[in-house]
Amino acid sequence: GENVEQHPSTLSVQEGDSAVIKCTYSDSASNYFPWYKQELGKGPQLIIDIRSNVGEKKDQRIAVTLNKTAKHFSLHITETQPEDSAVYFCAASPLGRGGTASKLTFGTGTRLQVTL
């Protein structure tokens, strides 16, 4: 089955700096890669996702890159703010029947702390 590794497990940056979180996956059948942000006591919130036919996607301060050959993808957060502090999870998923949602395999999470 799919295995997703995520690094680093903790990351501390100063406000305004950039943060990068990296993930690798094992199953070449995976072609959908979402990133979730989880705040204390809440469920994961989707912040950005990328499909395997795209190498990079950007949404304001957040960007994700995908290298299918190397089987790794990364989350980039620029101009970090204190409210970015949370646990971030990457995930991978193969194509479901009819292109529908399939099981997500998650990484172990990165605790991001943005200090003033």
Partner 1 sequence: DAGVTQSPTHLIKTRGQQVTLRCSPKSGHDTVSWYQQALGQGPQFIFQYYEEEERQRGNFPDRFSGHQFPNYSSELNVNALLLGDSALYLCASSFSLLGRTQYFGPGTRLLVL
Which spans of this chain sit near partner 1 (rule: CB under 8 A)?
1, 4, 6, 32, 34, 36, 41-46, 49, 89, 91, 93, 96-109
Q: Which is nearer to partner 1, 77 or 91 (CB)?
A: 91
Closest separation between CB of residue 111 and partner 1, Å? 9
- Sequence-distant (≥ 6) Cβ neighbours of residue 104 within 8 angstroms: 34, 91, 92, 93
Q: How far is the CB of 96 from partner 1 (least distance, A)?
A: 6
d(CA 3, CA 45): 21
DSSP-based three-state secondary structure for 86: strand
CB of 25 to partner 1, least distance (A): 13
- CA-angle at 109, arms to 107 and 111, nearest 5°: 165
- Count of CB atoms situated within 10 Å of the CB of 115: 11
Give the single-character DSSP code of 20: E
Residue among 14 and 41 whose Cβ is closer to partner 1: 41
- Toward partner 1, which CB reaches closer, 27 or 78? 27
* Cβ distance to partner 1 smaller for residue 4 or 75: 4
CB 15, min distance to partner 1, A: 26
